[in-house]
Chain A
Amino acid sequence: MKNFTRRTFLRSAGIAVALPWLESLKPAWGAPAAEPPRRFVGLMTNQGIMPQFFFPTEAGKNYAATPYLEILKDFRDDMTVFSGVSLPGVDGGHAADMSFLTGAPGVGRGAFKNTVSLDQHAAELLGGDTRFPSLSLMIGNEPFSLSFTRNGSMIPPERDPLKLYQKLFAEDTPQAREAAKKRLKEDRSMLDNLSAQAKSLEGKVNPTDRDRVDQYLTSVRDLEKRLSKAEKWIDVPKPKTAAKAPPAGVIHSDLPALGKMILDLTRLALETDSTRFVTVPWQLASTTPNTIPGVNHNCHELTHHGNRPEKVSELRLIEESIFRTIADFLTGLRGVREQGGTLLSRTIVLMGTNMGSANAHSNDNLPAFLVGGGFKHAGHLAFDRKKNYPLSNVYVSILQRLGVQTDHFSSGTGTMRGLELA
């Protein structure tokens, strides 16, 4: 840690945030000259992005900005826009949102089974050093998360900014900490006991059914591991922040305000190294974001615009607002200095959607782009719009960039063509 003291760090960060990743670095990394960790933020909107306002015409770095990309113009050199990409075998219209980070095929089919999402996979391998291995958040009305466990269960999202703030920064009372410890201990001993019961049951059932009992057993053990990790953090003071707590009582339909609160907290969580993996979908289905001037209809209804100009322009207002929220988030990440770079240079932000055209409920030609995080950005990577290139390959690129030695994830079988690590 030469040329660098905590004080100068704090000053350069511009706000009184203490205990960033440096603090946790002591036991975990030990050695000097350690690099700041790499992080991943998965964003998506589950109502499509209107392609005509998103995709550039020209391939390469010198594309003419489209209306939505114009909003992100400050990040042009730090981002790569994809076209002609989709997730192989992922269909089902709206329902495909569950597969956005898992790539699990066949959502629209009868016997669909989801699988592990990119962030959870990364958190399993790399998420051991922070208070929260990962955070699953959302913006919108009805609970929805991009994060799924290895056997395909959705990890419930935190969607209340105040609760998230408290989770990240509010210190529990000593009594509450004691009670929590006692509770964790009790639960762990109970889980031990349940493991034993499941094991004895395993011996009694026939082979096909053993799998299911084993799934129960694994779940109990996973939970036990999580509880024991959580236990270690009870007495570690939470980071301090100068940021004020968000107000109580969220208005879920106030997308711009809610989006800002959730993404500000996402930035603070990364900055204080409370976590390194975050997912934040916009779940817009039944939301009427009427704080955006000119919007009076619910998002889902608007996506069925049937190409009526007035509906299209109303929907465009919502989508532009989302892009502005993302631009603000990226600006925030760039504003945090971190060991010669910025938080953005160590954070990979992926944004995309599950439907190429919500009007048709089609799941090909997905609008998507990648920002930040140590890539040689390539402007606009244009793939075949008739025969799509797997978006899941960018998941492999992301994993490699995060430090996972792998050449596949989900349906991805290699890194994304044309996107090199920097």
Chain B
Amino acid sequence: MKRFLVLTLCLLGAAPEPQEKPAPASAHAGSLKQFLGKHCMDCHDADSKKGELDLSALAERMDSLDTFSMWVKIHDRVQGGEMPPAKKAQPSDGDRSSFLKALDLDLAAAISARQKRDGRAELRRLNRVELENTLKDLLGLPGLRIKESLPEDGKSHGFDRLASALDISFVHVDAYLSVLDKVFNDALCPFPEKPPVFTFRYKLFENNNHEGREADGWVGRAVKEGLAFGLIGMKRDETFRMEGPYKVIDDEPKSTALGIFRNEEADFRFDLNAIRPVVTGIHKLRVSGYSVAWDGKQIVPTPRHGAISFGVYSRNEHYGTVGLPPNKAAVAEVTAWCERGGTGAHGPDDHLKFVPASVDKLRGRLPGPAPGLAIEWVEIEGPIYEEWPPPSHRALFGDLPVKVWTREMGPLPRQQEWPFRHAGPFPKDIYGERGDKRPLVCVASSNPKADADRLLHHFLRRAFRRPVTDADLGIYRTLVAARMAKGEAFQDAMIAAYRMALASPEFLLLQEPPGRLTDHALAQRLSYFLWSSMPDEALFALADTGELGKPDVLRAQTERMLQDPKGKRFVENFLGEWLNLRDISATQPDTNLYPEFMPWHGEAMVLESQAYFSELLKNDLGVSRFVKSDFAMLNEPLAELYGIKDVHGWEIRKVSLPEGHPRAGGFLTQGGVLKVTANGTTTSPVKRGAFVMERIMGIVPTPPPPGAGSIEPDVRGAVTVRQQLDQHRANPVCAGCHQKMDGYGFALESYDVIGVFRDKYRAMGSGLDKIVNGRKVGYHLGLPVDCAGTLPDGRAFKDAVGIRNLLAANPERLAKAFIGQLLVYATGGELTFADRSAVDTIVQHASAKGQGIRTLVHEVIQSETFRNK
């Protein structure tokens, strides 16, 4: 031990300012030094540097968070009994505990001093999910979609909510500005009066295009390839055929539906060329249809429900999936915000499509039994506006009316730009292809100056999520006045001010002054936690009166917010990050090995985990349900995939499971988690083990050392991943960490890459005489799965059921991990050493109340950690 250790505190990147006194030396430096010198320096000095750790080089002062976290690591290794290693002389229990106690105090003192000064959480910008939601709620545009136009956010400590994951560059500012142009265009009110509702019903198999002379191109192609034909109920319509590539000929008796099958080379998405919204807004998309089966010669009844999805997939917009019953038609409906448009203006791909989600993966032309969908018609109805002018107008211009523009009203303001829309078969586009038959409109203000002041005040307060100052108001008022003086219309000048406000740091950055949060900052933190968006009027009002901070008021608001429809954003976004469910489509399961997997399964798996978490949250069920349960949330496709009988239809519902059932392992046995932790072809116990360790157990695995190498997956069936890994673990350098995480992964080896239970690995190559989804499977059964293992603490388990019992027996561990995840998500601050006692306190409070998930969410919100920056 060459140097004197001083535990002190310093800011990352900020040099200590000269007028500040040097931080006091550690109260316990002497005893720490003594312990390290006696037990650690043999291996961790400048010469040996075992594990790249040189304690003599560890900063005398803790000049960075890195140094600080190094000390935390030392603390944890000594505490866990890992260091000094077993083969070396061990410190006495007394030495060990007094070292830990001293280090504990120093670390806590250092971090709490830092937090007092700067807060736990760093200033950060809104991520793109939050930005989209905030603009939706601020401007009353429920269907706004801008996420895809913004640069992707990073991830730090598992979440997209930490400053370190949310950089800002000119690329962002540039993207914000162009997004805002779209947003304000969408927010303008295009008519003085509410537009009429248009309804159009379209039979896929009728000639609708080009004045009724042609059917959609894909119909012709599908018919030609034998993947679609006319149906009369449950019979093939023999008189249905194509003449040329586009024209459908159908003699008597006429078809009642189009039967759709497809193969894996066929286009997945089918154009709805004839269905083109006239005015942007909420629309109902309806479909009448049923699911059928084809046995190679004729249509036969099927027990299976079908599903169909709608969206504008070229823009990455998925509107929803609905189920269709077997053998007899029913109508299903999706409600979605649809933008005016259709073919032409945005390139060939930019219109509404549907995906027969339950139909997939047929090889060749309808060989054997194959699932199909019969579609009678598709209908669009809209735009549906409950009030007019629309909420977006009210958000910008309050009660000011929209009038038909006349010269006397001053300069003509910018009109809402409409995309080109082909006249097409839809009978009545009364506005012209470019909307040029619309009236010119204008927001009418008789007292622009007073109106501007009032509207700006209202808008800025909401946009900045805090009371508006005179200085704020001054900047924007000046801008409006200057623009109007230059001859700009009132409406345009106001939009320019709003646009600047929404590009400003006050809007884009989530500000929280250090120390205890003010009521407005608390409202903001609460709403971004539970709604991923800005506070609503009720929260604003409670913050204004200073009521929000009262524990019972805060509790009541939390309840209200969870029950609000926006509360589902918490479930979606928290699970999307915590369980990586956003990555559900990142890998495509190998079609030979996993022919069961259909496109709808991915979406259903996300719904499954969301519904499961919602169920726990709703009923305040305990954290042990994360790993062990007596029910699952399933729909028919999932139940079929998991081998559970008697679940019918697309809707997710609660299904009770007996003790020890393969699916009764909470999140650990849900398809979504199992899929995002695999690569589409093979599973890795390491990857899954690390996932469970970090996300469920709350222990962050150490990354592999450089050059650790990786395992070449082999799907020929000669060797299992476990056998390969055992070799890797024979290396003592690797064993240390792998011993801690692989156990969890081994237990999950019983589930393949799509979450199906297995006792043997599937190996590539034919051999199994089995047809799945209309094709012969491309695998045979290989080596058996060995899923026994031990937990880091040495407790052994035989299989997936064994491990779930062990994990569920320690709900406190699970609760701590979960609280940690919630805190990071809710505050945007990483979990530090100082938070450990806070987490313990929350667990204590919650234990008295039964430790349910909802209780834990409440306790997190009531905690000092949440209520301070």
Please determine whether B347 and A151 come into contact, CB atoms closer than 8 angstroms: no
Q: How far is the CA of A219 from the CA of B11 in the complex (A)?
A: 23
Question: B504 contacts which of A194, A206, A296, A361 (Cβ < 8 Å)?
Answer: A194
Question: In the bound complex, do residue A149 and residue B716 qualify as a contact, i.e. CB atoms below 8 Å apart?
Answer: no
> Is A190 part of the contact surface with B, judged by Cβ < 8 Å?
yes
A308 interfacial by beta-carbon distance below 8 Å: yes
Say yes or no: is B714 at the interface (Cβ < 8 Å to chain A).
Answer: yes
B640 at the interface (CB under 8 A from A): no
A208 engages B680 (CB within 8 Å)? no
B505 at the interface (CB under 8 A from A): yes
Counting chain A CB atoms within 10 Å of each CB, the highest count among B123, B156, B165, B679 belongs to B123
Encode B252-271 as 1/0 by CB contact (under 8 A) with A: 00000000000001000000
Asked whether B630 is an interface residue with its Cβ less than 8 Å from the other chain, the reply is no
Residue-wise interface mask of A (188-216) relative to B, using a CB-CB cutoff of 8 A (1 in contact, 0 not): 00110110011001000111110111011
CA of A156 to CA of B12 in the docked complex: distance in angstroms? 30
- Residue of A111, A149, A206 near B170 (CB, 8 A) is A149
Q: Are B511 and A205 in contact (CB under 8 A)?
A: yes
Task: Find chain B residues with CB under 8 A from A359 CB.
Answer: 712-713
| Contact B170–A194 (Cβ < 8 Å) | no
- Among B174, B177, B514, B590, the residue within 8 A (CB) of A206 is B514
Other-chain contact of B475, A197, A215, A364 (Cβ < 8 Å): A197
1/0 per residue, CB under 8 A from B, across A275-311: the answer is: 0000000000010001000001110110010111000
Whether A60 is near chain B, meaning CB under 8 Å from some CB there, is no
The docked-state distance in angstroms from the alpha carbon of A207 to that of B709 is 41
Interface size on B, residues (CB 8 A): 70
Of the candidates B13, B152, B349, B710, the one whose C-beta lies within 8 Å of that of A360 is B710
Segment with Cβ contacts to A, from B84-92, B292-300, B545-553, B699-707: B699-707
Residue ID in chain A nearest B162 by CB atoms: A111
Complex Cα–Cα for A152 and B166 (A): 10
Shortest Cβ gap from B799 to chain A (Å): 26
Selected contact of A151 from candidates B168, B177, B680, B713, CB within 8 Å: B168
Given A190-B503, A213-B123, decide whether A308 and B587 contact each other with a Cβ distance below 8 A: no
Contact of A67 with B by CB under 8 A: no
Task: Say whether chain B's binding surface is mostly helix, strand, loop, or mixed.
Answer: loop
- A222 / chain B contacts, CB cutoff of 8 Å: 169-170
Complex contacts, B764 vs chain A, CB 8 Å:
306, 308
- What is the CA–CA distance of A205 and B169 in the complex, to the nearest angstrom? 20
Contact between chains at B503 and A209 (CB < 8 Å): no
* Chain A residues near B682 (CB-CB < 8 A): 304, 306
Residue from the set A91, A151, A219, A290 with the largest chain B CB neighbour count within 10 Å: A219
Contact A216 B505 (CB under 8 A): yes
Q: Which residues of B497-515 are within 8 A (CB) of A?
A: 499-500, 503-506, 508-509, 511, 514
Q: Is B122 an interface residue (CB 8 A)?
A: yes
B706 touching A248 by the CB < 8 A rule? no
With A301-B590, A362-B710: A151-B716 Cβ-Cβ less than 8 Å? no
Question: How many angstroms from the CA of A152 to the CA of B125 in the assembled complex?
Answer: 15
Q: Which residues of B contact A209 (CB under 8 A)?
A: 118, 122-123
Q: Are B505 and A197 in contact (CB under 8 A)?
A: yes
Contacts of B706 in A (CB 8 A): 88-89, 91
How many residue pairs link A and B with beta carbons under 8 A? The number is: 173
Q: Tell whether, in the assembled complex, residue A306 and residue B716 are in contact, meaning their CB atoms are under 8 Å apart.
A: yes
Asked whether any CB of chain A lies closer than 8 Å to the CB of B348, the reply is: yes
Does A300 lie within 8 Å of B588, measured CB to CB? Answer: yes
Give the contacting residue for A296; candidates B118, B172, B265, B505; CB below 8 A.
B265
User: Smallest CB–CB gap between A185 and chain B, Å?
Assistant: 12
Interface residues in B96-145 (C-beta closer than 8 Å to A): 117-119, 122-125
Q: A206-B117, A212-B168, A360-B710 are in contact. Are A306 and B157 (CB under 8 A)?
A: no
CB neighbours of B541 from chain A (8 A): none
- Interface membership of chain B positions 206-218, coded 1 if the CB is closer than 8 angstroms to chain A and 0 otherwise: 0000000000000
Quick one: closest A residue to B479, CB to CB? A193
Contacting residues, chain B, for A111 (C-beta < 8 A): 156-157, 164-165
Question: Chain B residues with Cβ under 8 A from A220's Cβ?
Answer: 170, 173
- How far, in whole Å, are A150 and B167 apart by their CA atoms in the complex? 11
What's the nearest-Cβ distance from chain B to residue A296, in Å? 7
Q: Is B14 an interface residue (CB 8 A)?
A: yes
- Whether the pair A208, B122 counts as a contact (CB closer than 8 A) is yes
Is B681 engaged at the interface, CB distance under 8 Å to the other chain?
A: yes
Identify the interface centre among B152, B169, B171: most chain A CB within 10 Å of its CB. B169
Is A149's CB under 8 angstroms from B171's CB? yes
Residue of chain A at shortest CB distance from B679 = A304
Name the CB-closest residue of A to B717: A306
| Smallest beta-carbon distance B777→chain A, Å | 15
**Contact at A207–B167, with CB atoms within 8 Å?**
no
A187 at the interface (CB under 8 A from B): yes
Q: CB-CB < 8 A to A345: which residues of B? A: none
Interface residue ranges of B139-196 to A (CB < 8 Å): 151-152, 154-158, 163-165, 167-175, 177
Q: Which of these, A88, A186, A193, A216, contacts B509 with CB under 8 Å?
A: A216
CB of B349 within 8 A of CB of A249, answer: yes
What mask results when residues 757 to 781 of chain B are scored 1 for a CB within 8 Å of chain A, else 0?
0000000100000000000000000
A11 interface residue (CB < 8 Å to B): no
> Is B412 at the interface (CB under 8 A from chain A)?
no
Interface pair A308/B716, CB less than 8 Å apart: yes
Nearest B-chain residue to A211, judged by Cβ: B13
Most buried by A among B14, B171, B587, B712: B171
Contact B700 A110 (CB under 8 A): yes
Shortest A254–chain B CB gap in Å is: 14
Contact of A155 with B by CB under 8 A? yes
User: Judging by beta carbons under 8 Å apart, are B118 and A156 in contact?
Assistant: no
Q: Would you call A153 an interface residue if the criterion is a C-beta within 8 Å of the partner chain's C-beta atoms?
A: yes
In the assembled complex, the Cα of A150 lies from the Cα of B716 at a distance in Å of 45
A108 within 8 A of B: yes
Q: Give, as a whole number of angstroms, the nearest-CB distance from A234 to chain B.
A: 17
Does chain A have a CB within 8 A of B40? no
Q: B124 to chain A: closest CB distance in Å? A: 7
B791 interface contact, C-beta 8 A: no
Residues on A with C-beta less than 8 A from B713 are 304, 306, 359-360
A317 interface contact, C-beta 8 A: no
Q: Is the CB of A223 within 8 A of B174?
A: yes
Contact residue among B14, B167, B680, B712 (Cβ-Cβ distance under 8 Å from A357): B712
Contact present for A208 and B506 (CB under 8 Å):
no
Please, how many angstroms separate the alpha-carbon atoms of A213 and B505 in the complex? 8
Contact A219 B173 (CB under 8 A): yes
Verify A306–B714 contact, CB threshold 8 A. Answer: yes
Q: Is B730 at the interface (CB under 8 A from chain A)?
A: no
| Bound form: Cα–Cα A207–B713 in Å | 49
Among A91, A197, A209, chain B packs the most CB atoms within 10 A around the CB of A209
Cβ A208 vs Cβ B265 within 8 A: no
Greatest chain A CB density within 10 A among B155, B165, B168, B703 is at B168
Question: A232: CB under 8 A from chain B?
Answer: no
A145 to chain B, nearest CB (A): 10
Interface residues of A (CB under 8 A from B): 88-89, 91, 93, 106, 108-113, 149-156, 186-187, 190-191, 193-194, 197-198, 201, 205-209, 211-213, 215-216, 219-220, 222-223, 226, 248-249, 286, 290, 296-298, 300-301, 304, 306-308, 357, 359-362, 364
Q: List 14 A-B contacts (CB under 8 A).
A: A113-B164, A186-B496, A207-B14, A212-B124, A216-B505, A219-B168, A222-B170, A249-B349, A301-B588, A301-B590, A304-B590, A304-B680, A360-B713, A362-B710
Given A109-B703, A151-B169, A219-B170, 16 more pairs with CB closer than 8 A: A88-B706, A110-B156, A110-B158, A149-B169, A193-B475, A197-B505, A197-B506, A212-B122, A212-B123, A216-B173, A222-B169, A223-B170, A297-B591, A300-B680, A301-B588, A301-B590
Top-10 shortest CB links A-B: A306-B715, A209-B123, A222-B170, A153-B169, A304-B681, A223-B170, A149-B169, A249-B348, A360-B712, A153-B171
Binding site for A on B (CB under 8 A): 11-14, 117-119, 122-125, 151-152, 154-158, 163-165, 167-175, 177, 265, 347-349, 475, 479, 496, 499-500, 503-506, 508-509, 511, 514, 587-588, 590-591, 679-682, 700, 703-704, 706-707, 709-716, 764
